[in-house]
Amino acid sequence: MSAVDEFRFVRYETSPNGRVATISLNRPKQRNAQSRGLLVELGLAFEEAQRDDAVRVVVLRAEGETFSSGHDLGSSDDRAERADGPQQHETYRSHGGSLGPGVEKLLMQEWHFFFSNTLAWRNLRKITIASCQGQVFSAGLMLAWACDLIVTDETAVFADVVATRLGMCGVEYFAHPWEFGVRRAKELLLTGDSVSAEEAYRFGMVSRVFPTGTLQERTEEYAQRIAEIPSAGSLMIKEAVNQTQDNQGFYNSLKAAFSLHELNHAHWAVASGGTSLAQTEELGGGDWRTAGPVVPARKDSVKATP
């Protein structure tokens, strides 16, 4: 039995012709929030696809109505993975997890499990396609942006709410200016508003918007079309574009923004006397748990009605 057959939070399968591997986030009740267990399994699934020379394209999709609501901030799985005891995920005792008080522990954990893993998936030696429906929020954006192509159905909406709800300068993999454009990135971070699949298609972040109810089938067809190109050609295309982007400063700006993210955490830790890594009501922010719904960005409205 392969390790992928024992996954709890991710499902891995390949197409009959072997050319397309599909990785499915499988925590629909938690809106596919990214627990440590899910992220580790996701990394192993990507590596399984990378190991398989028959696979040319990897599809990243999700069960349920939501692609991913972002980091898991407190489900029962998340609490069990963090707490001391038999259910604690082993990575909370390694990768910086056993270090003492101070910023280093958080920096190391977030580097390994939010930043460097996402960057590795961006550079995977396969063509990758994110297939998104419903909410693609905050860390959900990181998973989609790590892929070479993004396809959606008509229900998909994209937003990063960590600034308005947690007092943070965006998620750890800070591709916002590259994906949204400079001023749009600032606006969407400062408001926490969302953009639709149709708008994301217009500014080039999304490649296809399929009718609702057809996403899985149409994504498979699209992936098989891309998989017709031998990897010797497709990966050179990927590398040419990625190297161009890196030469424009993408990689260095990602690293710089990650450092600012950790400084942001350190600020809230100092301000709260070590009790919080994000804004709190006592420190002048809101409570993310009682925040209202995310609303769409409208060109003729200060704030859209939910």
Which pLDDT score, from 0 to 100, does residue 306 have? 86
Task: Taking residues 264-274, report their average pLDDT.
Answer: 96
Which pLDDT score, from 0 to 100, does residue 205 have? 98
Question: Which pLDDT band holds residue 3 (cuts at 50, 70, 90)?
Answer: confident
Whole-number Cα distances in Å, 124 to 48, 90, 188, 242 = 11, 25, 28, 11
Instruction: Find the radius of gyration of the CA atoms of the chain.
Output: 19
Task: Taking residues 216-225, report their average pLDDT.
Answer: 98
CATH number at residue 93: 3.90.226.10
- Asked if residue 306 belongs to a domain, the reply is no
Which pLDDT score, from 0 to 100, does residue 40 have? 98
Where in the sequence is the domain holding 153, given as residue range(s)? 3-290
- Asked if residue 304 belongs to a domain, the reply is no
- Asked if residue 270 belongs to a domain, the reply is yes
The domain total for the chain is 1
Reply yes or no on whether the pLDDT at 214 is more than 90: yes
Q: What is the pLDDT of residues 142-171, one digit of tens each?
A: 999 999 999 999 999 999 999 999 999 999
Reply yes or no on whether the pLDDT at 262 is more than 90: yes
Which pLDDT score, from 0 to 100, does residue 4 have? 83
pTM above 0.95, yes or no: yes
The residue behind tokens 């890594």 is 277
Which pLDDT score, from 0 to 100, does residue 50 have? 97
Task: Taking residues 178-197, report their average pLDDT.
Answer: 98
Which pLDDT score, from 0 to 100, does residue 1 have? 56
